[in-house]
Amino acid sequence: MTFLRAFFRTMVAVVAATIMAVPAQAQTSISPQPVAGAADPRAAAVSLNNGYKVGIGDVLEVSVLGRDEYRARVQVQSDGTILLPYINSVQASNKTILELRDAVQKALESGGFYTKPAVSVVVTTFASRYVVVLGEVATPGIVPIDRAYRLSEIIARAGGLRTAGADAITLTPEGGAPVQLSLRDAATGGADKDPIVNPGDKVFVAPPKTFYIYGQVNAPGTYPIDRGMNVPKALARGGGLTALGSEGRVKVIRDGKELKKFDPNAPIQDGDVIVVGERFF
């Protein structure tokens, strides 16, 4: 008995020492980790290069071909799910149409409702993926997109330009830095000049840069500055000289100050004022 009591005391001491030796952080409860692959309906907008991805607010029509009893028109809820007959809640947000179709098909088949059902998923209302287009376009506002569009296509969908001469575009990707682009380059250049616009991006078409011309010209007024526009071209844009006008008496005023010396072939700048005086007889 004495031996057993001594052995018992020894084992208790060893167990107590082991527990005390465990690091403090190992004794704390383990925080639950997110489930791998779980869809997050709050995820940032994604590229549509590989097909449209369903988002919150979209309206879908889900049906099984050849089964008139299975046809549902549903809207993607704020948690990114849709409610369907038989299978109830299905995660839809951030899935492509094909991915969602396969998920519904698998759920119906695994639940024993149908054998190899031919599932169809159609987006009837695109509401979640859009681009904001502002500035000098015919119809500024929100432009829903159902696929990957290039910049020139987005401008076209916004009705084109509202103001002649507008060319400078600022493309601001969601979460990224603004990029300065030219609509003329986008419309006539290659893919590098006409980038893909993704959902959540913002497009701003700036008003054209202008110059002012008055004096002895046939059509004084304010005009947009075209590429490579210099003083001779500006005079032509102003309708040319009147019978009293003199090319030798042309003044260029920039930032409120007359340029004492200027190269007539140098490009004029935004806000320049060109004054044409009368010639001496």
Tens-digit pLDDT profile for residues 220-242: 999 999 988 999 999 999 999 99
| Contact (Cβ atoms closer than 8 angstroms) between residue 231 and residue 268 | yes
Give the residue with greater pLDDT, 179 vs 33: 179
Beta strand spans in 2-102 (E): 59-64, 67-75, 81-84, 88-91
Residue 276 and residue 250: Cα distance in Å, rounded? 5
Given a cut of 60, whether residue 1 has pLDDT beyond it is: no
> Residue 37: its pLDDT value, please?
35
Q: What is the pLDDT of residue 200?
A: 93
Query: What is the pLDDT confidence band of residue 49, given thresholds at 50, 70 and 90?
Result: confident
User: Is the C-alpha dihedral spanning 68, 69, 70, 75 positive or negative?
Assistant: positive
**Model pLDDT, residue 7:** 44
Q: E strands of 76-220, at which residues?
A: 81-84, 88-91, 119-125, 130-135, 141-144, 149-150, 168-172, 179-182, 196-197, 202-205, 210-215
Residue 46: per-residue pLDDT: 58
The whole-number pLDDT of residue 281 equals 66
Residues 52-101 pLDDT 10s:
999 999 999 999 999 999 999 999 999 999 999 999 999 999 999 999 99
The pLDDT, as a whole number, for residue 268 is 95
What pLDDT, on a 0 to 100 scale, did the predictor assign at position 212? 97
The pLDDT confidence band at residue 243, using thresholds 50, 70 and 90, is very high
- The answer to whether residue 2 scores a pLDDT higher than 80 is no
Sheet holding 221-224, edge to edge: 221-224, 210-215, 273-278, 245-254, 257-258
User: What's the chain's average pLDDT?
Assistant: 85
Tens digit of pLDDT for each residue in 144-172? Answer: 999 999 999 999 999 999 988 899 999 99
Residue range 245-267: mean pLDDT, rounded: 93
In this prediction the pTM is 0.71
Q: Does 28 score more than 70 pLDDT?
A: no
Is it the case that residue 3 has pLDDT exceeding 80? no
Tokens 């002012």 belong to residue: 212
